[in-house]
Structure 1
Amino acid sequence: MLEIFQEIDSVRLNFSDEGKMMLNATIAFIMFGVALELKPKDFIKLFKSPKPALVGILSQFILMPLLTFLIALSLGDFITPTIGLGMVLVAACPGGNISNFMSSLAKGNVALSVSLTAFSSFGGMILTPLNFAFWGNLYIQTYSNQNAVGLVRELNIDVLDVLVTILIILGIPLVAGVLFNLKFPELTSKILKTIKRISILAFIAIVVIIFTKNLDLFLTYIKYIFLLVLVHNALALTMGYFTGKAFRLNKTDCKTISIETGIQNSGLALALLFNPSIFPEDMAVGGMAFIAGWWGIWHIISGLTMAGFWSGFSLSKEEETAPA
């Protein structure tokens, strides 16, 4: 198995500079759409009802990277360090833009989901580079295979470079979206649904284009990446749910925290991977790209599946509105 993943690492994806620009523009547009939904009251809710929000932040930004680190280490010599780093990179990213829709479909706490999106979108600008730098380097340093030594020398995560990239892709669109919403609230309410639909379709289109341009590679290696992402994502969703249970949150909040933990902004991970100032072009990151790319497709499938399952839960009114 290790030999297969070494082959995947050495793969160079067919993705042009124009494609990279389209990816960055798409992520920026998605975040602009996310920001159109954010209002000052969403941040205020974090302070008015802090327990569910703090549990969600704990699950997404602390436990998710820790879980991923332990999964990657437990696989030992079955995966390459680059594959493990791909998992860590996805885990370090903020929540995905479809989590609010998934929470609504799952009959979760949509207000909590929006509040967590507000925090993760802005907080991720700092926490994503810090988490990836910390857990990525810790993973490489403790990796059992001596082949990791070469990667240790190559992996010099510049937190500032990652931060600048995230500020451009996330920060500027987020601020622009919030200001647009405050300045033109009526227009925002009219275009919001359309922009959300376009955002989701645009991201799916970009991921599909990446895989289409690399169809032969995808068909050759997907069976190996598929199982890895499936297990990783399933454990993330499970951990998020039971983290909420451990803090005695109601089922509605637990479902939301599960979705917020399992739905990651893998598009941002791809954007970072294709930035040569962060990952030099001569660095073998094929495995990381496959992990991030397939996660972007799979978390939509798993999220819809779990939301559909949970929407059948018959919760009493008392349980739905149970205080934290």
Structure 2
Amino acid sequence: MKVLSLINNAVTKFLPLWIVVFAIIAYFIPKSFEPLTGWTGFMLALILFLMGLTIPPSSFRYVLKQPKLVFFGVAFKWTVTVLISVGLGFTFLSHSPDLLTGFILAGSVPSATAASLYTFMANGTVLLSITMSVVDTFISPVVTPILLETTVGHLIPIAFLPLIAKMLLIVLLPILLGLVIQLKMSRFVEILQPSVRFFSSTTLILIVLSVVSGSQPLLEDNLSLLPLLIIITMLQILVPMFLGYGMAKVMKFNEADARAILYETGLCNTALAAILAMDYISFLAAVPAVINTILNLSFGALIAIILSNKSVVKEQNSL
């Protein structure tokens, strides 16, 4: 048991490092991971199923208890975060409709599954983070296709209804299934729960291996664009994070809640974006999502470490 615990900690604690390491490995030996490319949708569905298994029922009551906090975080994410992605995309990537669409898609998906982990590490309000993620995920199958059609539908064909169907299949259905099993088989879930983060982290690494190996020829052909993509992706992540945090403080939300909102607005489920891009746009369109995945996990961990050393005063929110 001790060995398993050590492996679990090594994988989850150093996830950003493993993401970078395995992305590099997949880039240099892509053929080794070709069998994974047909399983990316299933793997993401597995992560969201595990999320459904671990969503505390209290998160649904939290929406009623603190609606202003939840609404602010979700609304900010689907407006400001998306607008920043659209602005950066059209400013720097208008020469490539595929990259532009993939970049906007990376900022127009629900919050990352790692957001609640980093909120916990940063001493933020984990229940608020989970609640915002749940609301995000439930509305995304409709909101994401609408945003894509509205912003880039005139540049590249968007398979609107198939995109909605795909998101319902790999996003909403797995979470609902996880919730049902949690309610019906609570004892089984209790036994499984300590390993959920390990399975989620391992599956995310497999998704990165799949996406990077599948897009390797395109990455190689567009190496000259990588510095630009890295810089604007950093802005895509960090600007919404700190705007969300700053606005939360202006609204007089307490520090712990502001930290949860920071991650809600800055970290998107770019593994989902990469899968949707590969299925409905092109492998090239998945490149911005891959870069975002590596950077958002890395920045998320770094900021969590910095914030964890700063005290949190849980003053009453002005609601």
Unaligned runs of 5+ in 2: 1-29
Who is 2:67 aligned against? 50
Who is 2:126 aligned against? 110
TM-superposed deviation, 1:217? 5.8
TM-superposed deviation, 1:37? 1.7
Unaligned runs of 5+ in 1: 1-13, 141-151, 280-284
Who is 1:264 aligned against? 268
For residues 17-58 of structure 1, what are the alpha-carbon distances to aligned partners after superposition, in whole Å with 9 as ceiling and x for unaligned?
Answer: 843331111100000011112244312211111111011111
Counterpart of 2:297 in structure 1: which amino acid?
A: I
Who is 2:11 aligned against? none
Equivalences for residues 18-167 of structure 1 within 5 A: 18-75=35-92, 80-137=96-153, 152=155, 155-167=156-168
Counterpart of 1:260 in structure 2: which amino acid?
A: E
Q: Is the 8 A contact 2:44 2:207 kept in 1?
A: no
Q: 1:243 to 1:87 in 2, by over 3 A?
A: farther
For residues 247-303 of structure 1, what are the alpha-carbon distances to aligned partners after superposition, in whole Å with 9 as ceiling and x for unaligned?
Answer: 22122111111101111111111111222xx33xxxxx4542110111111111010
Q: 1:269 to 1:98 in 2, by over 3 A?
A: same
Which of 246, 254, 257 is residue 253 of structure 1 equivalent to? 257
Who is 1:168 aligned against? 169
Distance 1:91 1:239 in 2: 15
Counterpart of 1:121 in structure 2: which amino acid?
A: T
Q: TM-score, normalised by structure 1?
A: 0.81
Distance 2:159 2:247 in 1: 32
Mean CA deviation greater in 160-169 or 186-195: 186-195
For residues 187-220 of structure 1, what are the alpha-carbon distances to aligned partners after superposition, in whole Å with 9 as ceiling and x for unaligned?
Answer: 1122123122111121123213443566676573
Equivalences for residues 214-293 of structure 1 within 5 A: 218=219, 220-221=223-224, 222-275=226-279, 278-279=280-281, 285-293=282-290
Who is 1:11 aligned against? none
Q: Is the 8 A contact 1:88 1:132 kept in 2?
A: yes
Give the total of aligned pairs. 286
Residue 202 in structure 1 maps to residue 203 in structure 2 = yes
Q: Secondary structure at the match of 1:92?
A: coil
Q: 1:89 to 1:214 in 2, by over 3 A?
A: closer
For residues 105-158 of structure 1, what are the alpha-carbon distances to aligned partners after superposition, in whole Å with 9 as ceiling and x for unaligned?
Answer: 011110101111111121112222122222333xx5xxxxxxxxxxx2xx2223
Distance 1:135 1:71 in 2: 13
Counterpart of 1:188 in structure 2: which amino acid?
A: V
Who is 1:307 aligned against? 304
Q: 1:174 to 1:82 in 2, by over 3 A?
A: same
TM-superposed deviation, 1:165? 0.5
Q: Secondary structure at the match of 1:288?
A: helix
Q: Is the 8 A contact 1:36 1:181 kept in 2?
A: yes
For residues 168-205 of structure 1, what are the alpha-carbon distances to aligned partners after superposition, in whole Å with 9 as ceiling and x for unaligned?
Answer: 11122111100000001121122123122111121123
Q: Secondary structure at the match of 2:107?
A: helix
TM-superposed deviation, 1:164? 0.4
Distance 1:243 1:88 in 2: 23
Distance 1:216 1:72 in 2: 22
Counterpart of 1:293 in structure 2: which amino acid?
A: V
Identity of paired residues, percent?
A: 20
Q: Secondary structure at the match of 1:295?
A: helix
Counterpart of 2:256 in structure 1: which amino acid?
A: T
Q: Is the 8 A contact 1:226 1:294 kept in 2?
A: yes
Who is 2:180 aligned against? 179
Who is 1:191 aligned against? 192
Who is 1:4 aligned against? none
Distance 1:157 1:80 in 2: 15
Q: 1:216 to 1:123 in 2, by over 3 A?
A: closer
Q: Secondary structure at the match of 1:104?
A: helix
Distance 2:167 2:249 in 1: 33
Counterpart of 1:261 in structure 2: which amino acid?
A: T
Q: 1:86 to 1:213 in 2, by over 3 A?
A: closer
Q: TM-score, normalised by structure 2?
A: 0.82
